[in-house]
Amino acid sequence: MGDTLSHFTPAENLGGIKALGLMPPAMLAKRAGIDPASITLRSTPVEFAIKGRSVRVNHQNPLLAGRRKADRFLDGHTLESWAAQLDTRIFLWRGQQGDAFARSLPSDMHRFDFDAATLYDLYRDHIWLSPINSGSAMRKPALRGDWIYVSANATRREFLHNRRTDERRHFINDRVKEISLTCPIPPDMLKVLRK
């Protein structure tokens, strides 16, 4: 996963993150008393408040780009259900991938840098690796389903050959392009993890 993993969030979220921790969008919505299904497939950022603290959740336009061809790249999901599962994850970027992603973001974004080894030691059962950007359906979107995510506990071989288990998944020697976390990081743990 590299030495450093980065997470990007709107600067206005910092107060809430420091007080409540880092949470996936679906969890944030629940904490705000909002049905998580009501924020899926959002074409603009969604804003709400938790305990008086501002929260802004980014749009899902890269996924919406595939709405006319969802049946060709989604396995076992609709566009809505895939968007919903994306909202149960905190996405992390590594090294140069994070730098490239940062350049595509608005200037008001804040970057959290985490020590990858410490994150792995503390949260390995909740870390998932993907060979694609699972939230993007731009250009020619790769086939994906729940199987696209490989546990950080898996062997290197299991990850490398994950997409070649049948005639549909013919890729070999995949590389990690995306890292996601399926649990929150409490405020006290953020201090332990930050570089």
CA 52 – CA 170 distance, rounded (Å): 49
**Alpha helices (H) in 46-132, listed in sequence order:** 61-64, 70-73, 79-86, 95-103, 116-123
Please check whether residue 113 is in contact with residue 194, taking contact to mean a CB–CB distance below 8 angstroms. Answer: yes
CA 159 – CA 40 distance, rounded (Å): 28
Who's near 100: CB < 8 A, 6+ residues apart?
A: none
Give tens-digit pLDDT for 113-134.
Answer: 999 999 999 999 999 999 999 9
Q: Average pLDDT by consecutive 10-residue portion of the chain (195 residues)?
A: 88 92 97 96 94 92 95 96 98 76 71 94 96 92 94 90 64 82 97 91
Give me the pLDDT at residue 102, please.
64
Give me the pLDDT at residue 167, please.
47
CA 143 – CA 141 distance, rounded (Å): 7
Per DSSP, 107 falls in state T
Q: Indicate the pTM of the whole model.
A: 0.91
Give me the pLDDT at residue 37, please.
97
